[in-house]
Amino acid sequence: MATAPDAVLTFQSKFARDDVEGELACFSQRFREQSGGLSLQGYATLRDRFLAPLGGFGRCVLRRNSLDDNLVAVEGGDGLHLRLVYSLFGNAFEVAAAAEARFTFPDPDGVATGAPFTPRDVSLEPRGASPPRRLVVHWNMPAEAARRLVATGLAWAEVGNEWRLEGLTPLEETPKEGEPAAVPAAAGAVRVVSRAPLPVREIGSSFGSVRLRVELELGDAAACMRALPDGTLLVAGGADAPRLRWESGESSSTGAADPR
């Protein structure tokens, strides 16, 4: 999601439709891992506890009234974390949001698809080099689709920051309502890093799922990758962080579709 309120509103729309899988997708990978590697089944159990601060009335309002009109405060300016304060009929709560990077690529039918961007799935190589020369991404796909990508390579790939949710906390007092501070976007303009073939390799398979690998040359965009203490990688630049895009030579000549 481009902004933290976008993440909240997306969660709200999924909640209104009882789309539990869609709700889970609104949370950061860090939140899921800190919750014990949160699975869909695990979230279904955690869901009631997560929403408990809203109470029954708050849940009813969450299903029916857009929170877009209830944002009363925005705090945090490091480009990585935000605290959003909402007020529902005199009951206030804060939502913690964090920026995290996301890898996006076209599936074999050209549909933009996302893959996790966690320390076990991505790395900068050569390891320890400063600056690194390439970003390596691993991900899993169903075997048939994965092998089609291996045969054709990627038409394009992007890495950019998005906002995800990390927590919900009730507040004892409702802050004075006023114009909330401007909400930063997670990523700035697209920066095309290179136009070169993007071959995909199969590096393993299990139970109908194939693990893929792509190497993305960074060139002078190496300074745009930031490693956090926990090993998480982000696109650097705070609120002005670009979306880094790689295009194959073929896609650059024919005009690749925008993944959004």
Beta partners for 73? 85
Which pTM was predicted? 0.82
**Distance separating alpha carbons of residues 25 and 234, to the nearest angstrom:** 18
Collapsed DSSP state (helix, strand, coil) of residue 111: coil
What does the pLDDT read at residue 77? Answer: 65
Residue 57 has pLDDT above 70, yes or no: yes
Selected residue with higher pLDDT from 30 and 121: 121
Residue 111 has pLDDT above 80, yes or no: yes
pLDDT of res. 45: 76
- What per-residue confidence (pLDDT) applies to 195? 94
For 91-110, the DSSP string reads EEEEEEEEEEEEEEEE-TTS
Residue 115 parent element (H or E): strand 112-115
The larger pLDDT score, comparing residue 198 to residue 76, is at 198
pLDDT band of residue 175 (cuts 50, 70, 90) is low
Residue type, 103: F
Report the pLDDT value the prediction gives residue 122, as an integer from 0 to 100: 94
CA separation for the pair 88, 168 (Å, rounded): 14
Q: Is a pLDDT exceeding 70 seen at residue 144?
A: yes
